[in-house]
Amino acid sequence: MERTTLDLWVGIFIAAGIGAILLLALKVGNMSSFNGSNTYQIYAYFDNIGGLKQRAPIKSAGVVVGRVAAIALDPKQYKARVTFNLDRQYQFSKDSTASILTSGLLGEQYIGIETGAEDAMLKPGDTLAFTQSAVVLEKLIGQFIFNKAGSGNHN
């Protein structure tokens, strides 16, 4: 069997195809998808999650440290039970606060974690004690109008 120019062309084609896949993987996509075994799960209860979605990022000081794994309604307390998938290399204290924030005015919602002062760290399967719900714009506007009307009557 001898080498032909046909083999060369096929070689170029396959190299270009694999190169394209690698380029897509390295340049276009992000490797850190937090789906693997290098994560641990903790839970948090929120009164209202607003528009939070599954796979929304969890950030601490703006750095992505995990993703929302699942959202469900707790049928006893009528609160939303959110499962966090956190990267194993980041540990947070037991009295950390999780709040639902919005990136920009119309952006997607994400969870911000602020670590507390306690020395003991959260273990896999723990539940966060301190949470802050999403801001519902309608309620905020309602409160504002109610306050305005209230102060107007006094004067």
- CA-only gyration radius of the chain, Å: 24
Regarding 30 and contact with another protein (CB under 8 A), the answer is: yes
Largest CA distance in the chain: 100
* Residue 145 binds another protein, judged by CB under 8 A: no
Type and span of the H or E element at 64: strand 63-74
- Contact between 29 and another protein per CB under 8 A: yes
Piece of the chain touching another protein by CB under 8 A; list 9-17, 76-84, 85-93, 116-124: 9-17
At its nearest, how many Å lie between another protein and the CB of residue 9? 5
Helix (H, G, I), strand (E, B) or coil at 76: coil
57-60 sheet: strands from edge to edge: 127-128, 39-46, 79-87, 63-74, 57-60, 109-114, 97-102, 130-132
Smallest gap from residue 4 Cβ to another protein (A) = 9
Residue 27 contacts another protein per CB under 8 A: yes
Are 111 and 52 contacting, i.e. CB atoms less than 8 angstroms apart? yes
Q: Which of 61, 72, 106, 117 binds another protein (CB under 8 A)?
A: 106
Q: Which residues bind another protein (CB under 8 A)?
A: 1, 6-7, 9-10, 12-14, 16-18, 20-21, 23-25, 27-31, 33, 35, 53-55, 106
